[in-house]
Amino acid sequence: MKHLINKELTEKVPFMGDEVEVRKLTVGTIMELQKVIKKADKSKDDEAQLKLLCDIIKVAVVGAEELTKDDFDSFPLSELTSLSTHVMRVSGLGGTEGN
C-alpha cells in the first residue's frame, strides 16, 4: 500500500459544456481546506465565500492553479458553484448529486 502514497487520482466532470479534471483531495488537503472554510464562515466580508469557492477550485481542478481573480470573475457563478459541488462529491465530502 505504501507505493500508493501521493498518487494523484482524478475524475472528469462537466463544466461549461466541456469537461475538466478534478483531483480527489487527500485527507491532508481536506483538513487544510476545513480551516479555510471555518475562517470564511466567520468572515463578515461578502466576498469571503466567493474567494473560498475559488480557492477550492484552484486546489482541486487540474490547470486551475494559475487562474486569477479576474479569470474567475469571467465565469458564471452557477457554473463555479456546480463545479465546487462536483469537487466535494469526487472527494467524498458531498452526496451523489451530479453523478
Residue 43: the pLDDT is 81
- Give the start-to-end residue ranges of the domains of the chain: 10-90
Cβ neighbours for 66, distance < 8 A, ≥ 6 positions apart: none
Residue 39: the pLDDT is 83
Q: Residue 22 pLDDT more than 50?
A: yes
pTM metric for this prediction: 0.81
Average pLDDT (31-40) is 85
Q: What is the pLDDT of the chain when averaged over all its residues?
A: 88
Residue 66: the pLDDT is 95
Q: Which residue has the higher pLDDT, 41 or 95?
A: 41
